[in-house]
Amino acid sequence: MKQVYFDNAATTLIRDEVIKGMVEVMNGNYGNPSSSHSFGRSSKVLIEKSRKAIASHFNVSASEIIFTSGGTEADNLVLKSAVKDLGVRRIITSKIEHHAVLHTVQQLEVDYKINVSYVSLDKNGNVDFEHLENLLKTDDKTLVSLMHINNEIGNILDLRRTAKLCKENNVLFHTDAVQSVGHYNLDLQDIPVDFLAASAHKFHGPKGVGFAFIRKNSGLKPMIYGGEQERGLRAGTESVHNIVGMELALKAAYQNLEKEHQVVFGLKQYFIDKMKSEIPNPTFNGESENTENGTYTLVNVCLPVPPKKSAMLLFQLDLKGIACSKGSACQSGSSRNSHVLSEILNEDDLQKPSIRFSFSIYNTKAEVDYVVGVLKEFST
């Protein structure tokens, strides 16, 4: 059976050179980085070299990069500490954020009685900046949390505009950049975000490691207590091989960014053109068809399939060896509609199957042809 992996927004294949580098670390640098002997010192050196290298990609200082287990932990660290330790009494977000943000904010609302405001969205899921400006006019200490690229529909937030607005209103700004780090250049001196979350496995690195960018002198305090690792902000023995793997993956991503962008964008465009020519009346959700307001890495398509038939679509695609998603991977197994699509689609379209296909440099046009052929067979 043919195997096609079109679920790269969920996770990605680790690059060969990343695996090689991680194995070398596991074989040769097994000392605890907190130990004072030579074994520990050699591991500590690797961590700090990786920290400096990662910081350089974003034009920030190494001390502003805090290693975590991934984007979810980074989001939680920022949001929880902002409320507990920085005195934030109001959070402005949107209803189409990743659940790592949404569920955390909802729990903070219960536990700390903070005020939560949801910025309005247009019909495609884009932030209404006029409404955001109005929400920013507040006396409460406020934090805005809006993701850079939506993981389901690919909409791109204007980070510079958002950060500038927050700065002008003396409001903190956090962005979940899990879908953009490694795919877009981000100069964090030019874009004055206060906090940012990233995850290695979204850019061909290992799972279980990510980082939080925390601008210096933020006042954030740890969510996990124990040792003094990560400037005291994240206790626990560091995963040296994973941190090195993340740094190697990020280095490769940015060294090859332009070339790989063109390849992946070409696959996405080919997929869209092929869908339009082979399948009657597909529609593309959010900005996923847009080449400017949507990311080049994914497409979210709504298919004209009757509800009774649509229930079996993902199962049939899986039987054909095709990996894709009806929403984020975190919702797999759920019978509920995507919370993102529920915000932007009408009731009729919500009854039709919407599928996210996400691409990488390891995909081919032949795979697109195969997938569209299977969808055509199912849709007729």
Query: In the structure encoding, which two tokens stand for residue 73, read together?
Result: 């932990």
Q: Which of 166, 302, 324, 330 is catalytic?
A: 330
Tell me, yes or no, if 330 is annotated catalytic: yes
Of 300, 292, 286, nearest to 265 (Cα)? 292
Instruction: State the catalytic residues.
Output: 330
